[in-house]
Amino acid sequence: MTADTPLPELDPVIHAQARLRVVAALNVLGEGDEMAFNSLKNLLGMTAGNLSVHLTKLEEAGYVAINKTHRGRTPVTFVALTRRGRLAFEDYTKAIRALLDNAGGTR
């Protein structure tokens, strides 16, 4: 990156710490795989309410898909990263790397 090249923009939907953690956790899953809401909540150490708020933001951006179903009579919510979400996370990580490379100056 040169001095006249603008710094990359960071996706504000992903940039919030909690949403970044959600997207990073879901990105580890294979494409099309999903994680139960409670498993994601426990993995990230978040409350159900906090996770729900952040998932709503990610769903509105098209980055996650929410699938509400039942196991027997018990309701279960599954969360998956969409293709758009994977691409947004990839772009985000590239932008972070570019910012970090620029912060290091010339080597």
Residue 107 has pLDDT above 70, yes or no: no
Which pLDDT value is given to residue 105? 57
Looking at the domain 12-99, which fold is it? Arc Repressor Mutant, subunit A (1.10.10)
Mean pLDDT across the chain, nearest whole number? 92
- What is the per-residue pLDDT across 22-48, written as a single tens digit (0 to 9) for each? 999 999 999 889 999 999 999 999 999
Q: Quick check: 78 pLDDT over 50?
A: yes
CA 63/CA 107 separation, integer angstroms: 36
| pTM of the predicted model over 0.85 | yes
Question: Which class for 26: exposed (0-12), middle (13-18), buried (19 or more C-beta within 10 A)?
Answer: buried
> Hey, which residues does 65 pair with through a beta bridge?
80
Mean pLDDT along residues 48-54: 97
pLDDT for res 29: 96
